[in-house]
Amino acid sequence: MMRASGADMAEDRKSAPFAYDGLDRIFHEKARLGILTSLSGQPKGIGFTELRELCGLTDGNLSRHVQVLEEAGLIAVHKGYEGKRPHTLCQLTDQGRARFADYLDVLEQVLRNAARVTRGDGASERAASPKPA
Amino acid sequence: MHDIETALSDIERIRDQLAATTRFRGFTPSIAATTGLLALALAMVQSLQPGLTNDIRLHFAAWILLAIICACLIGTDAVVRARALHRGMAESMIGTTLRQFMPAGAAGAVCALVLLVRAPDAAWLLPGLWQLLIALGIFAALSNLPRRMIWAAGCYFLCGSLTLALSSAMTPPPPWAMGIPFGFGQLLVAAILHDAGKRCGHG
């Protein structure tokens, strides 16, 4: 998936302030958001079983989402053994950290805009003074 | 409105969590190397001009001034670079890194103030103490620094211990008791940052 550069995103914000191109679809899915949030505080990664419990997913569901995230280069999956039992470790990659941080910036912007609209401010104000990403 | 505020605070929490476990990339090898070379240069000037170091307060004033210059250089560069590289996480990461280094920096400043003002005869302890405190600062920040930075922390710790043991009661302490550990220590830090930058594909 192609990602827009910072300059492109700033230009898009001016022309289409509510386009939110930075809301990457890979992140913008409930289960994947849960997986990435769980991994974000664990630099050494989390085992598959623990991740499944943290996110409340079934084995099949978690495998599918982990595969999507791994193919996008956002997480690394290490398969090994813990004693005699197979053990799968999932870990956020450097690229995954950077892109997840960018995604959080856009998500925060969406919420701040919503808060402004709720308070009765116009969209023009948002377009005029976007929070730097 | 309450839901939005809750969601915003959740995002803040996740970002802090991400920042706390992400490697801080604000430090540059060239600045670290520059501070090392400055330390070697000052030690050379002091050893060539012994008259400058006869007064122990003057001797350490030069090192304190150099430490302030180096801290400003490293700090300014780190803030600018972190804001460019870490974007939304930058403030959180700068805050975390400062919290990790500040106790050691503050302890170093208090030691200098107390020893130079109240007990100048014991000021020979300062070089070793400062090296040990730098080591503790790096150890405290290891989770956000390249893994090999443990070697730099170990090196400062060893140098601090040796300096304390070897320069006991030498007043003023030899300039190289500061110059060699800080000069080569910072060059080692620069080499580790350079290596880590190459591994990550960043400069």
Which residues in chain B are contacts of A112 at CB distance < 8 A?
A: 8
In a domain, B18, yes or no: no
| Chain centre to alpha carbon of residue A4 | 15
Could you tell me if A97 lies within 8 Å of chain B, comparing CB atoms? yes
Does residue A122 have a pLDDT over 60?
no
Distance from CA of B147 to the nearest CA of A (A): 12
Average pLDDT of chain A to the nearest whole number: 80
Pick the closest to residue A75 from A104, A30, A34, A20 (CA basis): A34
Average pLDDT value for residue range A60-78: 93
The C-alpha of B14 sits at a distance from chain A's nearest C-alpha, in angstroms, of 7
Highest mean pLDDT out of A4-13, A110-119, B36-45: B36-45
Whether pLDDT at A113 is above 80: yes
Residue B201 lies in a domain: no
- Per the structure, the complete domain to which residue B42 belongs is given by 28-193
Domain assignment present for B55 = yes
Residue-wise pLDDT for B156-187, tens only, equals 999 999 999 887 767 678 888 999 999 999 99
Query: What three-state secondary structure class fits B71?
Result: helix
DSSP-derived pairing of the beta strands A75-82 and A85-92? antiparallel
User: Which of A96-110, A117-131, B164-178 has the lowest average pLDDT?
Assistant: A117-131
Domain assignments of chain A as residue spans, ordered by start: 24-128
Residue B200 belongs to a domain: no
Buried b (16+ CB within 10 A) or exposed e, B24-62: bbbbbbebbbbbbebbbebbeebeeeeeebeebeebbeb
Which of chain B's residues have a Cβ under 8 Å away from the Cβ of A41?
17-18, 20-21
Q: DSSP string of B126-194?
A: HHHHHHHHHHHHHHHHGGGS-TTHHHHHHHHHHHHHHHHHHSTT-SSPPTHHHHHHHHHHHHHHHHHHH
CATH architecture of A24-128: Orthogonal Bundle (1.10)
- C-alpha distance from B38 to closest chain A C-alpha (Å): 33
Using left for φ > 0, alpha for ψ between -120 and 50, and beta otherwise, residue A122 falls in beta
Q: Do B22 and A112 touch (CB under 8 A)?
A: no
